[in-house]
Amino acid sequence: MTDRDLLQSILAVLPMQVVVTDSNGTIVYANTAWDDAARAAGVQNLGKVSVGANYLTVVARSAESGEPEAAGSLLGLQSVISGASDYFDIEYSCSRPDKAYWYIMRVVPLTGEPPRGLVITHTDVTHSRQDMASMFTDRQAAERQGRQDREMDSLEAISSQRSTSVAAAIYGKVPVREADPALFGALVNRYGQALHNAVEQRTYRVQNSLDDDLREIAQRLRFQNAGPRDVMDIHVAAIKGELKRTNGGGKTFLLEESRPLVLRLMGNLLSLYRLEAIASRQSFASRES
């Protein structure tokens, strides 16, 4: 066996795809992995992409068909042939009927003065890419869960704070959840539905009657002389219930939509107290006059 035969035998069994070109870019050798990958991609005539074909022409056709990395690859190949660069590599994707694959293409010159022949290898890094994507997704999920837990802890802390003496005098000493558990449960359900509608409105771009829901909840809270603490109690209880029924990214949307929603409910309740205060002052002024 000659040295050439030995070299070709070694290249033939390598798992990576190997192509060797002359200084014009014509393929003078392609190993078994290269030809097998071409067949898997649906190539019927290997003569178009294997020995005898021009590698630069193959890449140029890919660039013309809109392959995103092909144009850059063509420039890199030409720079190594001309001697402007001593190597070139790029990571690219390749879609097949079964799934998408990822490869790293590395280009090095054969010995000699420019223009030079090339040794081109394509290494399948799909599994590594998928592992990295999975790790990134897991990390994102952990970070998202951490943010959700911290936000819920903050809401719990606000809800569990004792009412000040001023708030107790104005809004009543006993929270609604203790004074009327049945009403509290009904308000939590109504507010939870409003939360669900807010997420649905954001996700599907549909219009829901959030303002009507919030006004009705605020009115029922006013009848109970409720205050900010009661609003937060309802808010926290409703979020907990909705989080149990929501999966994945929907939990993030839920918490994001809940922030402006609780402020709107608080604003509706305060507006009712403000209007009553104005009406009371006007009534007092009219009696004095």
Same domain, 157 and 254: yes
Answer yes or no: is 69 within a domain.
Answer: yes
Rounded to whole angstroms, how far apart are CA atoms 191 and 231?
10
Q: Where are the beta strands (DSSP E) in the chain?
A: 17-21, 27-30, 88-95, 100-109, 118-124
Rounded to whole angstroms, how far apart are CA atoms 251 and 248?
6
Fill in the amino acid letter for 200: E
Report pLDDT for 225. 87
Q: Can you list the residues of the chain whose pLDDT is less than 50? A: 163-169, 171-172
Same domain, 145 and 40: no
Answer yes or no: is 94 within a domain.
Answer: yes
Nearest to 232 by CA among 156, 167, 146: 156
Number of domains the chain is built from = 2
Alpha carbons within 13 angstroms on the beta-carbon side of residue 239 total 26
Same domain, 94 and 159: no
Same domain, 96 and 159: no
List beta partners, residue 101: 94
| pLDDT tens sequence across 158-205 | 556 554 444 444 544 688 888 899 999 999 999 988 888 888 777 766
Residue 52 maps to which CATH number? 3.30.450.20
Rounded to whole angstroms, how far apart are CA atoms 63 and 134?
30
Rounded to whole angstroms, how far apart are CA atoms 275 and 162?
27
Same domain, 199 and 247: yes
Same domain, 168 and 119: no
Phi and psi of 52, rounded to 5°? 100, -25
Tokens of 65: 């068909």
Tokens of 263: 């402020």
Same domain, 167 and 257: yes
Same domain, 114 and 146: no
Rounded to whole angstroms, how far apart are CA atoms 26 and 48?
11
Answer yes or no: is 133 within a domain.
Answer: no
Same domain, 158 and 95: no
Same domain, 156 and 113: no
DSSP letters for 137-206: HHHHHHHHHHHHHHHHHHHHHHHHSPPPHHHHHHH-SS-HHHH-HHHHHHHHHHHHHHHHHHHHHHHH--
Q: Which of 68, 91, 124 is the last residue of a domain?
A: 124
- Upstream peptide bond of 115 is cis (omega within 30 degrees of 0): yes
Nearest to 123 by CA among 14, 13, 16: 16
Q: In terms of residue numbers, what domain contains 54? A: 3-124
Answer yes or no: is 19 within a domain.
Answer: yes
DSSP 42: T
Answer yes or no: is 135 within a domain.
Answer: no
Report pLDDT for 138. 60
Report pLDDT for 166. 44
Nearest to 267 by CA among 199, 210, 207: 210
Rounded to whole angstroms, how far apart are CA atoms 218 and 228?
11
Same domain, 194 and 104: no
Answer yes or no: is 224 within a domain.
Answer: yes
| pLDDT tens sequence across 218-242 | 999 998 888 888 888 898 888 888 8
